[in-house]
Amino acid sequence: MMSPILTLFYFFLFLKIATCGVQNNNFTFNGFGGAKLDLDGIASITPEGLLLLTNATRLMTGHAFHPAPHRFKPPTGETLSFSTTFVFAIISEYSDFSAHGMAFLVSPTVNLSTALPTQYLGMFNSENNCDAANHVLAVELDTIKNPEFADINDNHVGIDVNCLKSVESRPAGYYSGSATDQFESLNLHSGEPMQVWVDFAGGDMQLNVTMSPAQMPKPSRPLLSATVDLSSVVYDQMYVGFSSATGSSNHPSHYVLGWSFMVNGEAESLDYRKLPQLPRSKSKRKPKHIVVWMLPVAIFTFALIVAATVILVVGRRIKYAEVLEDWEQEYGPHRFSYKELYRATDGFKDKELLGVGGFGRVYRGVLPASNIEVAVKRVSHESGQGMKEFVAEIVSIGKLRHRNVAQHLGYCRRKGELLLVYDYMPNGSLDKYLYDQTRPSLDWARRFMIIKGVASGLLYLHEDWEHVVVHRDIKASNVLLDGELNGKLGDFGLARLCQHGSDPRTTRIIGTIGYLAPEGDYHERRVCVRSVPS
């Protein structure tokens, strides 16, 4: 039979084994000097014994957890009650600004490395926010209003379960406990220490959050009271701690001065006499100095922006300036804006250059609105007498419709420059095609078809259209080939319109010698003669 002493020994051994690895479910820190916490991010303990979660470093997180997990569920499975209280302070460099805030949280892990240092308070990210797999309970002290989380304002306390869309939230403050039970507001980032109490009753799943200025007795009426079923949220063992994030600007420092926690009981009261002192805030003097140097900077910056805008607008107007006279209004549908042609040709860059002739340079372009390929010819001219008649004839030629006549689409006029827009011919001019060794040679049947096409186009110009069009410069370089090698008459820069049997005059030599009808004069006076190709 086992002796009483041996029985007692085995009893205590069994009790030791049964409780091995289970953390005592209460602790109290009246200051954090010498405390062993699990710190992450930029969280640290200052020489004065303050827990500094985040400082003025941009886009950083800070986490501080009690190093061992605490039992939140006994073997029977029900959720245990817990209670915690802590004193915190948020000190901003500028009193009118703050960052995102901080939170007390109950978490299954101390590893929050995937959390973002922005509006997610260092707890979640855009992917896992509101994910039931988080198993996180938090009480947020939020100092920025985020519409995406349905925040009520930029100074509130909220209860969060797996998500930053709070189950319940209220503006920061406390109830005075007087006869009128008046609500007193608190500014979370005032730099003054405040105390928070979080009490959860496992029996009825009631979670209360209370706050007040530090060293004031706990108000009898909680700021927040909500029914929160934590049975599916908490595991058997969970970690407790704090999280904070600085964001991209206006980043204050988040401090915890003291902290007490207990499972299945009321957290021990903090001893205010032992709490460390906060660093002196300079925020009250800062704004005046900021105004002094920021005002001239703002004025100078505004002046620069206005000047740059004026230069940009004026520069663009000069760049795209056109000449438009009253008599051109009737040709509106045939006129292109210079801006449209500039964009179509990618700014008339050399890579779009198709060729250079005696009357200007020709560029390939794609009209932005219709995605149609065009050829744009830039012709220098001097505005003055005869321009009105020339534009009128260009527009009239644009009305020509024949399969062997290159379609003239319109024009644009600038100071000292005229731009003519034609159908784009993928195979270029006949002369270049004939002498291009990289292209397949034209057999006689194809050459004959091209000649027939040119002749058909000439017949249309001379006989079939309402006016007689005298091209006056028909040669291989002015015969264009489309994608199917059909010949088309192009370059009407020297063409003249006249009525059938009329007698127009010219005062200059026109055309290319050897390409004009031999019966016509070259200058002074011309009859409406026919064009002949060489």
Rounded-to-10 torsion of CA 279, 282, 283, 287: -170
3-class DSSP state for residue 219?
coil
Cα–Cα–Cα angle for 312, 317, 321, rounded to 5 degrees: 155
- Report whether pLDDT(5) > 70: no
Can you give the pLDDT at residue 515? 54
Residue 410 lies in a domain: no
- Report whether pLDDT(320) > 60: no
Instruction: State percent of the chain over pLDDT 90.
Output: 42
Regarding whether 169 and 63 lie in a shared domain, the answer is yes
Say how many CA atoms lie within 13 Å of 467 toward its Cβ: 17
Distance CA 88, CA 192 (A): 8
Distance CA 378, CA 362 (A): 6
Tell me the β-bridge partners of 39: 64
Can you give the pLDDT at residue 383? 45
Regarding whether 309 and 171 lie in a shared domain, the answer is no
3-class DSSP state for residue 452?
helix
Which domain CATH number covers 522? 1.10.510.10
Q: Given pLDDT bands bounded at 50, 70 and 90, which one contains residue 526?
A: very low
Residue 433 lies in a domain: yes
Contact in structure between 120 and 128 (CB atoms under 8 Å): no
Distance CA 290, CA 284 (A): 11
Regarding whether 450 and 504 lie in a shared domain, the answer is yes
266 CB neighbour count, 10 Å cutoff? 15
Give the type of residue at 230: L
Helices of type H across 24-81: none
Q: Which of 118-127, 307-316, 397-406 has the lowest mean pLDDT?
A: 307-316
Can you give the pLDDT at residue 495? 55
Can you give the pLDDT at residue 328? 56
Can you give the pLDDT at residue 159? 97
Residue 463 lies in a domain: yes
Residue 351 lies in a domain: no
- The catalytic residue among 40, 151, 199, 473 is 473
Tell me the residue range of the domain where 521 lies.
425-534
**Average pLDDT over the chain, rounded to an integer:** 81
Span 307-331, average pLDDT: 61
Enter the tokens of residue 37: 């916490």
CA distances for 220 relative to 49, 139, 260, angstroms: 30, 19, 19
Regarding whether 209 and 88 lie in a shared domain, the answer is yes
Which domain CATH number covers 55? 2.60.120.200
- Report whether pLDDT(27) > 90: yes
Q: Between 503 and 211, whose confidence is greater?
A: 211
Regarding whether 240 and 310 lie in a shared domain, the answer is no
- Report whether pLDDT(96) > 70: no
Can you give the pLDDT at residue 333? 55
Regarding whether 234 and 295 lie in a shared domain, the answer is no
Can you give the pLDDT at residue 104? 98
Domain count, the chain: 3
Residue 17 lies in a domain: no
Regarding whether 306 and 264 lie in a shared domain, the answer is no
Helices of type H across 345-439: 387-397, 430-434
Quick one: how far is CA 487 from the chain centroid?
50
Residue 374 lies in a domain: no
Instruction: State percent of the chain over pLDDT 70.
Output: 75
Regarding whether 108 and 59 lie in a shared domain, the answer is yes
Can you give the pLDDT at residue 285? 46
- Report whether pLDDT(301) > 50: yes
Can you give the pLDDT at residue 354? 87
Say which DSSP state 332 is in. Answer: G
Q: Given pLDDT bands bounded at 50, 70 and 90, which one contains residue 477?
A: confident
SS (H, E, C) 158-189: EEEECCCCCCEEEECEEECCCCCCCEEECCCC
Contact in structure between 421 and 408 (CB atoms under 8 Å): yes
Residue 200 lies in a domain: yes
Q: Which of 246, 262, 284 is the last residue of a domain?
A: 284
Verdict on whether the full-model pTM lies above 0.75: no
Regarding whether 183 and 294 lie in a shared domain, the answer is no
Contact in structure between 426 and 482 (CB atoms under 8 Å): yes
Which residue's entry shows tokens 């034609």?
422
Regarding whether 295 and 216 lie in a shared domain, the answer is no
Regarding whether 265 and 296 lie in a shared domain, the answer is no
Q: Which of 48-62, 122-136, 272-286 has the lowest mean pLDDT?
A: 272-286
Q: Tell me the backbone φ, ψ of residue 153, rounded to 5 degrees.
A: -165, -170
Active-site residue 473, yes or no? Answer: yes
Quick one: how far is CA 282 from the chain centroid?
36
Distance CA 397, CA 408 (A): 7
Residue 475 lies in a domain: yes
Enter the tokens of residue 361: 């340079």
Regarding whether 83 and 181 lie in a shared domain, the answer is yes
pLDDT tens digit sequence for 196-215: 999 999 989 999 999 999 99
pLDDT tens digit sequence for 411-444: 887 777 788 888 898 988 898 888 888 888 889 9
Residue (of 257, 265, 246) closest to 201 by Cα position: 265
Known binding-site positions? 377
Known binding-site positions for ATP? 377
Contact in structure between 29 and 258 (CB atoms under 8 Å): yes
